[in-house]
Structure 1
Amino acid sequence: MKPLVAIVGRPNVGKSTFFNRMIGERLAIVEDLPGTTRDRLYGDTDWNGRDFTLIDTGGLELGTGTPVGQVGLTGQPGDLMDHVMAQAQLAIEEADVIVFMVDARSGITSADEDVATLLRRTKKPVILAANKADNAARRLDAVEFYSLGLGEPIVISSIQGSGTGDLLDEIVNALPPEEEEEEEEEEDVVRIAIIGRPNVGKSSLLNAILGQQRSIVSDVPGTTRDSIDMDLEFEGRKIRLIDTAGIRRRGRIAVGIEKYSVLRSTRAIERCDVALLLVDASEGLAAQDTHIAGEIHEHTKGVVVVVNKWDIAQQQRREEREGIYARPEDEIESAESYREVIAEGLKFIPYAPVIFASAKSGYHVKSILENALKIADIRFVRIATSRLNEVVQDAIRRHNPTVIRTKPLKIFYATQARVNPPTFVFFVNDPQAVHFSYERYLENRLREAFSFKGTAIRLQFRPRTKEMAR
């Protein structure tokens, strides 16, 4: 997982301008008005070979409203500044490195001193950045920020870009060491994340799997705010379960702690081998379910679609058929209809098995784990290069590559570069000549030949060098 770097400071010191420059796009709204940034924004960047995630936070004004974090952490309503401060406090708590940004143009303010007092209490690395130092005079005046007690200020101009390289050097130096490869005994642990929008029964499923109450269960959406890891053994296999907060569409994410939970859930997808995508059978397939499935697919993870609350959906169906005797085959018929709906809505992951279950009653919970373990094993399958190229050449004979810009695609050979996820590298004359439809065709042929059921696979196309041709 990428380390987190939080940018904090009072309003209108240029945090969003710096954020936008670092991630290379204008994601944060930038205006010369205090408090423009209200929600936290996240963006990935890299420097000197280190990848990390930047968090752009709203401005801190500690002298206003209720204590920092009180409203966001309790979930009680409050004014806008309470929410902004709660978000910033959450970012500070989770970050690996904190960049405290001040304004070299206006000098030290009482708000800067308040934030500095807060940051001196944290055990996290804090880097002081004096922004808006657009000329020599302001760069010299920045020495006054030494009095904040947070070390030497790094003088920068986010608009001009001057000094940002020095700041990034300091950030990278302060990041925790890169995680080493997992120890051998950890290689046998299958990491399974329970993913879904709020209130679909994620915590209930976790409890059903564990066989005991190890996580809060509530009908209130968003009860689980942090990812929770649980270790267990199932049929002699070691499993690490990751319970997560529900993911909502961005426009539906409330100000405060829930937005932070979305990042936690996304990071849980990154950490897992197989994701259990929970769908509420009583509500049907929602647009947000499709969004989450797309995120799992983009991260090239294994996936099981779990249609949870199937007993409730069946009861609703029986009530709708009031007065008509419910035959056993009715459930099979409704399951097949639901399967068709899922196949249409999640057509981009046709490889995902669909299991109808009830976390509350335990119906098919064992089958969920069995399927997840099978998928985890499939992700470690390694295909012999000779056999792989037989399948690829046969696919080419059946269907020649599409011609792009009058240049025909030539595939010389393929090899499997890695497992978990299964990754195949195709050496071609021109990667730009690979049409997305032909890439999909090759993926389907690999799936047919090697049964990669339940997991996404990755295809990469690289030009063949002169050395390879010899």
Structure 2
Amino acid sequence: MKKPVVAIVGRPNVGKSTLFNRLVGGRVAIVENVPGVTRDRLYRDTDWRGYEFTVVDTGGITDDPEGLEGEVRRQAEQAVAEAAVILFLVDARQGLTSDDFIIADILRRAERPVILVANKVEDFRDPYLLQEFYRLGLGDPFPISAAHGFNVGDLLDKVVELLPPEAGEEERQGTRVAIVGRPNVGKSSLVNRLLGQERVIVSATPGTTRDAVDTYFEVAGKEYVLIDTAGIRRRSRIAESTELYSVQRAFRAIDRADVVLLVLDATEGATAQDKRIGGYGHGRGKAAIIVVNKWDLVAKDSMTLEAYRRALRQELSFMDYAPVLFVSALTGQRVRELLPAVDEAVEQARRRISTGVLNAVVRESVLLTPPPTVKGRPVKIYYATQVDVQPPTFVFFASDPEAIHFSYRRYLENQLRRTFGFQGTPLKLIFRARKGGREA
């Protein structure tokens, strides 16, 4: 069963992301002394005293219905709507503001348990420090210092008291899909199209998505977790430390994904940065799908798609196993093909081949094209076995592993793919000496 949600809300720069990181036990949300750094909802699971729940960090709510601030407010309101418990954060040092009253009004209408949390408290003995916050009409202010962790344990005790009884039940896990790419290629629009709702803020300004945002959903009985990430730029173009953290987080999102959707802009083709992003996932053995977005903007004839595909294969030759889908997040063109492709890629990445069947293919491959000779002596490949999945990993035992050239390794990989498929996933081939030899 899905874990209950604890939403952290408040105006900008009151310490929501600091509290979020404190509750989930790591630096997940970006923390800077700049209002508006957190824009989308950021989810992480945590537990306290045996209760498991999901904490969501939200963008600061302000009284601005237009522009990005209006989008942030709407995202925060949606997080409140799905929350079992709401932590309303205020700044004890700065005191009450007009935005605090606006948020309090929103929360009273939400009909959810609300804990009024006064953050940045320095003197817990001052009886008058929090007196003004009673004007919000949300009960006793709960004093904490998120930065130092003071009183946070007591706050968590209060949270679990308000959680529904089923909070201890375990949540089902879905296929984790990281949506990655350069800024402004349409990643967030693609997420929204897949989900059928405006789950992630969409802006024409590159870099709007700064956090990796997890969204759980179910289609036809299958569970998925979409991880939308910040656009990844070359390090030389990262001027703000905030964006540097976002890039690092995007790469970590790839690390925890089952499948990576590498999103490209059809009007620009594959760039050097696209290769770098794809190479990162490839190097970590991640199943992948190349998604060419904005296909509706490309002038085309009957030859355009295949010509584009060939050029793309040449630019991203190291990912020749990855299927290429031409989509339009704007119109929905072919977007419905993404999840079946994800399912197939995951299935292939988790596939196991029995040792007997594998060695029959290896023997035939060696007979067709023998390994190279070294000083007149042929290199022998004795047998092979699969030792892991995600990616499928095969160990080949040979008389002289170091003598097996890259081109022959590639030949064996192609033979495995020709026989077993493995579309959508890289393969890892390891060559070892049969007796005490080192890995080649």
TM tier relative to shorter chain: 0.5 to 0.7
How far is 1:343 from its partner?
1.1
1:309 maps to 2:294: yes
Q: Which residue of 1 aligns with 2:73?
A: none
How far is 1:242 from its partner?
0.6
Q: Which residue of 1 aligns with 2:263?
A: 278
Counterpart-to-counterpart distance in 1, 2:314 and 2:412? 22
Q: Which residue of 2 aligns with 1:376?
A: 346
Q: Which shows bigger deviation, 424-433 or 221-230?
A: 424-433
Counterpart-to-counterpart distance in 2, 1:252 and 1:298? 23
C-alpha deviations, 1:384-409, integer Å up to 9, x for none?
11110011111111112124577643
How far is 1:463 from its partner?
2.1
1:396 maps to 2:362: no
User: Would you say the 8 A contact 1:244–1:265 is kept in 2?
Assistant: yes
Counterpart-to-counterpart distance in 1, 2:378 and 2:253? 41
Q: Please tell me the residue identity of whatever aligns with 2:337.
A: S
**Pick from 179, 198, 202: which aligns with 2:183?**
198
Q: 1:307 to 1:428 in 2, by over 3 A?
A: same
Q: Which residue of 1 aligns with 2:239?
A: 254
1:455 maps to 2:404: no
Q: Which residue of 2 aligns with 1:122?
A: 148
**Pick from 428, 431, 454: which aligns with 2:398?**
428
Q: Please tell me the residue identity of whatever aligns with 2:188.
A: S
How far is 1:459 from its partner?
1.1
Counterpart-to-counterpart distance in 1, 2:312 and 2:170? 38
Alignment of 1:284-363 (within 5 A): 284-313=269-298, 317=299, 330-363=300-333
**3-state DSSP of counterpart to 1:304:** strand
Q: 1:185 to 1:446 in 2, by over 3 A?
A: farther
**Pick from 417, 434, 446: which aligns with 2:387?**
417
**3-state DSSP of counterpart to 2:319:** coil
How far is 1:290 from its partner?
1.3
| CA RMSD after TM alignment | 2.8
**3-state DSSP of counterpart to 1:214:** coil
Counterpart-to-counterpart distance in 2, 1:184 and 1:405? 61
Q: 1:333 to 1:72 in 2, by over 3 A?
A: farther
Q: Which residue of 1 aligns with 2:415?
A: 445
1:69 maps to 2:16: no
Q: 1:372 to 1:332 in 2, by over 3 A?
A: farther
Counterpart-to-counterpart distance in 2, 1:354 and 1:417? 28
Q: 1:190 to 1:69 in 2, by over 3 A?
A: closer
Runs of 4+ in 1 over 3 A off after TM superposition: 71-75, 119-124, 183-186, 403-408
User: Would you say the 8 A contact 1:407–1:433 is kept in 2?
Assistant: no
- Which TM-score applies when normalising by structure 2? 0.60
**Pick from 197, 201, 221: which aligns with 2:206?**
221
Counterpart-to-counterpart distance in 1, 2:281 and 2:304? 27
Counterpart-to-counterpart distance in 2, 1:429 and 1:343? 35
Counterpart-to-counterpart distance in 2, 1:72 and 1:410? 64
How far is 1:253 from its partner?
2.2
Structure 1, unmatched stretches of 5+, are: 1-52, 55-67, 76-118, 125-182, 318-329
Q: 1:73 to 1:400 in 2, by over 3 A?
A: farther
Counterpart-to-counterpart distance in 1, 2:309 and 2:198? 31
Counterpart-to-counterpart distance in 2, 1:338 and 1:370? 22
**3-state DSSP of counterpart to 2:274:** helix
How far is 1:379 from its partner?
1.3
User: Would you say the 8 A contact 2:32–2:242 is kept in 1?
Assistant: no
User: Would you say the 8 A contact 2:287–2:390 is kept in 1?
Assistant: no
Q: 1:364 to 1:403 in 2, by over 3 A?
A: same
How far is 1:74 from its partner?
5.2
Q: Which residue of 1 aligns with 2:222?
A: 237
Q: How many residues align?
A: 285
Structure 2, unmatched stretches of 5+, are: 1-25, 39-144, 151-168
Counterpart-to-counterpart distance in 2, 1:424 and 1:296? 19
Q: 1:444 to 1:226 in 2, by over 3 A?
A: same
Counterpart-to-counterpart distance in 2, 1:372 and 1:257? 31
**Structure with the greater relative contact order (CA < 8 A, sep ≥ 6): 1 or 2?**
2
- Which TM-score applies when normalising by structure 1? 0.57
Q: Please tell me the residue identity of whatever aligns with 1:373.
A: D
User: Would you say the 8 A contact 1:412–1:428 is kept in 2?
Assistant: yes
C-alpha deviations, 1:341-372, integer Å up to 9, x for none?
10110111111111110111111111011111
**3-state DSSP of counterpart to 1:462:** strand
Counterpart-to-counterpart distance in 2, 1:359 and 1:309? 7
**3-state DSSP of counterpart to 2:321:** coil
Q: 1:414 to 1:358 in 2, by over 3 A?
A: same
Counterpart-to-counterpart distance in 2, 1:184 and 1:399? 52
Counterpart-to-counterpart distance in 1, 2:373 and 2:400? 11
Q: Please tell me the residue identity of whatever aligns with 1:350.
A: D
Counterpart-to-counterpart distance in 2, 1:407 and 1:300? 34
C-alpha deviations, 1:127-178, integer Å up to 9, x for none?
xxxxxxxxxxxxxxxxxxxxxxxxxxxxxxxxxxxxxxxxxxxxxxxxxxxx
How far is 1:381 from its partner?
1.4
Q: Percent identity?
A: 49
Counterpart-to-counterpart distance in 2, 1:256 and 1:406? 58
How far is 1:271 from its partner?
0.7
User: Would you say the 8 A contact 1:208–1:359 is kept in 2?
Assistant: yes
